[in-house]
Amino acid sequence: MTTLSSQPLDLDALLAETEDDSAGALVVFSGTIRNHHDNKSVERLSYTAYEPIAKKAIAEIEQEVKDKFGVSRCRIIHRIGDLEIGDIAIHCVVRSAHRGEAFEAAKYAIDTTKSRVPIWKEEHYSDGTSVFREGTPLKT
């Protein structure tokens, strides 16, 4: 199953992949590239990953979310490469019988992905400068 992709992310494919007749609730979180950050005008973002650990970490988070919240499906896919405003950087998809745990699980999935998966974003501003966004040190 794809967890990192250099191509535009396909939500419909992810929804088809996670179909589950026993699940009444579907929660999707998607992160998109917005045109501003800290009052600076953003032109584009470059995402890079350390793939051997990033792929393993995402797969671990998917399993952890299912175990921890008792949801039947959790899939996470992150895009890497150069993204323009409005492009989708990540989809987190959770399905479960009821909506309470689906919301909790999706929130945990995105929070955890941001803090545990070796992916970095460099923000390119309209004034020509660029900055690597501050991140969370990996647990060692």
Partner 1 sequence: MLKIHCLGILQSKVGQAVCEVDWPQNNSIETALATLVEAHPAVASELPRCACAIGDEIVPRSYQLQAGDELVLLPPVGGG
Terminal-to-terminal C-alpha distance of the chain? 27
- Region of residue 102 (left: phi > 0; alpha: psi -120 to 50; beta: else): alpha
Contacts of 75 (CB under 8 A, 6+ apart): 1, 14, 17, 18, 62, 91, 92, 93
Contacts of 97 (CB under 8 A, 6+ apart): 22, 23, 24, 25, 72
User: Which member of 36, 56, 115, 120 binds its own copies (CB under 8 A)?
Assistant: 36
Segment 77 to 116, residues that bind partner 1, using CB under 8 A: 78, 89-90, 110, 113-116
Please identify, using beta-carbon distances, which residue of 71 and 80 lies nearer to partner 1: 80
The item of partner 1, its own copies, none sharing an interface with residue 50, based on CB under 5 to 8 Å by kind, is partner 1
Binding site for partner 1 (CB under 8 A): 31, 47-50, 52-53, 56, 78, 89-90, 110, 113-122, 132-140
List residues binding its own copies (CB under 8 A).
11-12, 15, 19, 21-36, 85-86, 97, 99, 102-103, 106-107, 110
